């Protein structure tokens, strides 16, 4: 296990879609262990393989709070099978050190994936919980989508990014989300 370097926003590979995992091999198990160790070392809630320069459809999440035992969750080849509702939340990302902005997310998501042993499972994140938002955030990484692509206010996001010497929002990457806008009453 090793703490790996996290790629920062502006690194081209963060925008590339990831490949399916065909077998939960020793290499994938080592990747999962490195993701977990790196996430915990950087005080993250989640981390996706592309963020450490590995282009596989794998991410890890742990939404336990300070007074709870660690609860690492591993998602291999995840698919979001159901989503509903809408919520605005303030998000950050380990690839955007210290930069936070408001983004639009689904309030409820159901995802199916394989666990660290290659066994299928289904999990639900409800009511705009940290789990629901983290699943969407990390899932996006596997498709080359970043949290700022969901920003509520591009100009606000640009101001935050410039404070931390990060490139501005890529306007052509902003995601049009009419169903979320309608839910939020912004249509």
64: left (phi over 0), alpha (psi -120 to 50) or beta: beta
Residue 139 has φ and ψ, to the nearest 5°, of: -60, -45
Biggest alpha carbon–alpha carbon distance for the chain: 48
Known active-site residue 138: yes
Burial label for 109, CB within 10 Å (0-12, 13-18, 19+), is: buried
Q: What is the C-alpha to C-alpha distance for residues 136 and 142, in angstroms, rounded to an integer?
A: 10
Contact at 8 Å (CB) between 24 and 118? yes
Task: Indicate which residue of 16, 124, 138, 181 is catalytic.
Answer: 138
Contact at 8 Å (CB) between 41 and 79? no
Q: Which residues are known to be catalytic?
A: 138
């Amino acid at each position: 296990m090793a703490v790996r370097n996290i790629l920062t926003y502006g690194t081209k590979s963060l925008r590339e879609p990831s490949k399916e995992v065909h077998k939960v091999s020793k290499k994938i198990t080592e990747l999962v262990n490195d993701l977990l160790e790196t996430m915990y070392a950087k005080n993250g809630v989640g981390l996706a393989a592309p963020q450490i320069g590995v282009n596989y459809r794998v991410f890890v999440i742990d939404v336990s709070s300070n007074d709870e035992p660690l609860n690492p969750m591993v998602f291999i080849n995840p698919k979001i099978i159901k989503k509903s509702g809408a919520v605005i939340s303030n998000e950050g990302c380990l690839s955007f050190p210290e930069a936070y902005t408001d983004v639009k997310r689904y309030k409820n998501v159901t995802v199916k994936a394989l666990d660290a042993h290659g066994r299928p499972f289904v999990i639900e994140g409800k009511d705009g919980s940290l789990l629901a938002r983290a699943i969407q955030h990390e899932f996006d990484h596997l498709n080359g989508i970043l949290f700022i692509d969901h920003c509520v206010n591009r100009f606000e996001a640009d101001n935050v990014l410039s404070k931390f010497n990060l490139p501005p929002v890529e306007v052509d990457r902003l995601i049009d989300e009419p169903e979320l806008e309608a839910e939020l009453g912004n249509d």
